[in-house]
Amino acid sequence: MKKLTLIISIVLIGLFMTQCTKQTVEAPVAKKIPKELTAHGDTRIDNYFWMNQRDNDEVIAHLNAENDYTDQVMKHTNRLQKKLYKEMVGRIKQDDETVPYKENGYFYYRRYEEGGEYPIYARKAGSLDNDEEVMLNVNQMAEGHEFYQVRGLNISTNNNLLAFGVDTVSRRKYTLHVKDLTTGEILDDKIPNTTGSSVWANDNKTLFYTVKDSTLRPHKIFKHVLGTDPATDVEVYHEFDNTFSTFVYKSKTDKYIIIGSYSTLSTEYRLLNADDPNGEFKVFNPREKDHEYQIAHFEDKFYIVTNWKAKNFRLMETAENATSDYNWKEVIAHRDDVLLEDIDIFRDYLVVSERKEGLINLRIINQHDKSEYYMEFDEDAYLVYATDNYEFNTELLRFRYTSLTTPFTTYDYNMNTKERELLKQNEVLGKFDPNDYQSERIYATADDGTKIPISLVYKKGLKKDGTNPLLLYGYGSYGSSLETYFGSHRLSLLDRGFVYAIAHIRGGQEMGRWWYEDGKLLKKKNTFTDFIDCAEFLIDERFTNSDKIFAVGGSAGGLLVGAVANMAPELFKGIVAAVPWVDVVTTMLDDTIPLTTSEYDEWGNPNEKKYYDYMLSYSPYDNVTAKNYPAMLVTTGLHDSQVQYFEPAKWVAKLRELKTDDNLLIFKINMDFGHGGASGRFERYKELALEYAFMFDQVGIKK
């Protein structure tokens, strides 16, 4: 009996000590230095403006203090975090490789080795039975770097040269390198401050690439000749309009090098024969306000996907020597209920990607007799897309398919015989059976009567009794549609009784172009109220309750959950805001910050009072007040190039100052990474494990 009493006492003391530790750890308090910000006769006081100094020792000290606080108050979840990390990584096949694709006589693929954080890029000449040629082993290249990212692999026409970009800071500023694949030598040609992408002319020695300005806007195209000093490279295009960015690519037919310029709502292209790298680029069709189009070369003509007099886009064509829009002829007409998203060109077939009622359909059109059909898929909610179709003279269409319960699956589809060949389904290690899970699509109703799609997945047998924890994910900006794809990491949620829900709110493009336009500029608040309506609907339908529902979003999705936290804090148990854009007005008034000027068409230009006033009415940072907020986990990266670290840093400081509750508020700053998080294949799951542990802790899930 005494022994039992002693054990109970030890347990109680342990629990008491844990609670005391959690309660006595004090959150960092940021100093206040009032800064007056005045526009349109309105003055805002920003007490934390001083945090906008990445090299300031006090700023770094404060961020480190926030990290220390997070580590301390979440210390009791360390074992759970390690378990979650091991769980998620354990489902991933480590020695894996992608399905090879054929291009210009070679089969290219990417593979991973056991324990490797980074990919190995390789190819085989002529046949998959031939010896492997390793082009880049990024594991070796990344040694000694906290962050290492390779992008933009680009092979010359003669297959002998590889251009690629490297970022070691996570600032999305890539240095271009060139490797001679015949000798294995990295050439001396080294070009800094690029987007990482490049294009070879057909002479196999001239390289076109894009550089960035001080705001990280891609604004110039240069031409480099191998063996020459990059400082002498010739500028071939300068995008002077700071609301536009530029890029360069090559047509699938290899005939043209194409410079593109784009803003949120307008595009323009320039053409150069790839056999004549010293020639002059010619405008395809001059830019016009609110005219977006993309082009694809085929034989002696171009196909054009355009929204010219077509909100949901239509397909047109024109002769390659008569490219102005008054020469264009319609191929596929505009439809109110179908968004024409993209096309893939083959010698004998045209593949059209169309979105209807939120789902992508693949339409196959015979280039010769114009007969056509749609591919068929079984599930009610899925994602399908054409990919890796670099060969022009083939009847095979490579596509990938996935759903909330189906892992990514790669097929080759014979467009002539309609036969489908399964090439690979991503393997999920462990005890995974897709039949153990249920997905569905339901619809919430917004205050204005609009039906908002919600995609759900949960473990079969779940009771809709209002007691289930639920993660509601949203984005709702830039016309970016949230797709219903599989993620093996989510099994760690579903197997613990969570419902995973995606709110397809306005501001995306799931239901067509008007869906996007109804969630931007002076209609932006529809995005936030749609999300709230989805949460309320899920509670009313007894999937969850307000003590067990979490709002999750990143970047512009962080803006979403930040706005929702101000508008309906009582609706959520917790909020996870990843790299959140929350200081909308101050950022959009500062044209030295990346992405500001190019996004006036998305959010509005606050130098105009009507946009200033509207932004101010929903900006998460500006609308923090003295009231109760849900528990919150906020994350950022010190080197974030998209949303500067100081936005969430200021937001957290203001929340700490004003909120009237005792709910947990923690801030995790990745001091080595940027907007996309860690660069390694598995390292990112440590960040996800923290997010899951935060939510589990709030609803009492201990293991």
Active site residues: 555, 640, 675
Q: Which residues pair with 384 in a beta bridge?
A: 401
Which residue type sits at 59?
Answer: V
The three-state secondary structure class of 221 is: strand
C-alpha torsion angle, residues 515, 519, 521, 522 (rounded to 10): 110
Strand order in the sheet with 301-306: 293-298, 301-306, 314-319, 329-332
Burial class of residue 431 (count of CB atoms within 10 Å of its CB; 0-12, 13-18, 19+): exposed
d(C-alpha 431, C-alpha 399), whole Å: 27
Nearest to 643 by CA among 565, 570, 584: 584
Answer positive or negative: Cα dihedral of 285, 287, 290, 292.
positive
Alpha-carbon 67 to chain mean position? 25
For the chain, the C-alpha Rg in angstroms (whole number) is: 26
State how far the alpha carbon of 522 is from the alpha carbons of 40, 446, 507, 589, in Å.
18, 17, 12, 17
Give the containing element (helix H, strand E) for 149: strand 149-155
Do 471 and 557 meet the contact criterion of CB atoms below 8 Å apart? no
Do 352 and 313 meet the contact criterion of CB atoms below 8 Å apart? no
Do 570 and 496 meet the contact criterion of CB atoms below 8 Å apart? no
